[in-house]
Amino acid sequence: MRRAGVAVSGLIAVTMVVLTACSPVRQMSDPAGNPGEREPAADGLLAAWLDGSPETTNADASGFRLLVDGDAALEWRVRSLRKASERISVQYFMWRDDVVGRMLLAELLAAAERGVQVEILIDDMHVRGNEALLAPLADHPNIGIRSFNPFHTRAGLLRMGIEFVVRSDPVNHRMHNKSWIVDDRLAIIGGRNIADEYFNAGGAFNFTDLDLAIAGPLAFEVGQSFAEYWRSPAAVPVQKLARFAGDAAQSGALNTDGRERPAGTHLTAVGPHPPANPYERGPLDRGAYVWTSAAELVVDAPAKAYGDGRTEAGVVQALAQRYAQVEEELILISPYFVPGAEGVRMLGELSRQGVDVGVLTNSLAATDVAFAHGGYARRRHALLDGGVTLHELRPTAWSRAAAVNGAFGNAGARASLHSKAQILDDQEVFIGSFNIDPRSANINTELGVFIADARIVGQVQALYRASTNPALAYRVERSDAGLLQWVDDTGEVHALEPKAGFWRRIVAWVARILPVESQL
Q: Is 183 noted as a catalytic residue in this protein?
A: yes
Spatial separation of the C-alpha atoms in residues 370 and 364, rounded to whole Å: 6
Q: Assign 3-class secondary structure to 428-479.
A: EEEEECCCCCHHHHHHCECEEEEECCHHHHHHHHHHHHHHCCCCCEEEEEEC
User: Could you say which of 183, 184, 209, 247 is catalytic?
Assistant: 183
Give the CA distances from residue 327 to residues 352, 353, 427, 456, 457, in Å, rounded to whole numbers and listed in that order.
11, 8, 11, 20, 16
Q: Please report how many Cα atoms fall inside a 13 Å half-sphere around the Cα of residue 240, on the Cβ side.
A: 23
For the chain, report the end-to-end CA distance as a whole number of angstroms: 33
Q: Is 499 noted as a catalytic residue in this protein?
A: no
User: Could you say which of 123, 196, 418, 453 is catalytic?
Assistant: 418
C-alpha torsion sign, points 488, 489, 492, 493: positive
Q: Please report how many Cα atoms fall inside a 13 Å half-sphere around the Cα of residue 373, on the Cβ side.
A: 24
User: Could you say which of 30, 97, 425, 488 is catalytic?
Assistant: 425
**Beta carbons within 8 Å of 385's beta carbon, 6+ residues apart:** 348
Torsions phi, psi for 445 (to 5 deg): -85, 150
Q: Is 211 noted as a catalytic residue in this protein?
A: no
Q: Is 420 noted as a catalytic residue in this protein?
A: yes
User: Could you say which of 126, 152, 176, 266 is catalytic?
Assistant: 176
Spatial separation of the C-alpha atoms in residues 69 and 418, rounded to whole Å: 12
Contact 450, 318 (CB under 8 A): yes
Q: Max CA-CA distance within the chain?
A: 77
User: Could you say which of 83, 152, 173, 178 is catalytic?
Assistant: 178
Spatial separation of the C-alpha atoms in residues 337 and 56, rounded to whole Å: 38
Q: Is 381 noted as a catalytic residue in this protein?
A: no
User: Could you say which of 124, 420, 437, 453 is catalytic?
Assistant: 420
Spatial separation of the C-alpha atoms in residues 64 and 451, rounded to whole Å: 9
Q: Assign 3-class secondary structure to 178-213.
A: CEEEECCCEEEEECCCECHHHCCCCCCEEEECCEEE
Give the CA distances from residue 191 to residues 136, 418, 502, in Å, rounded to whole numbers and listed in that order.
27, 7, 29
- List residues with catalytic annotation: 176, 178, 183, 418, 420, 425
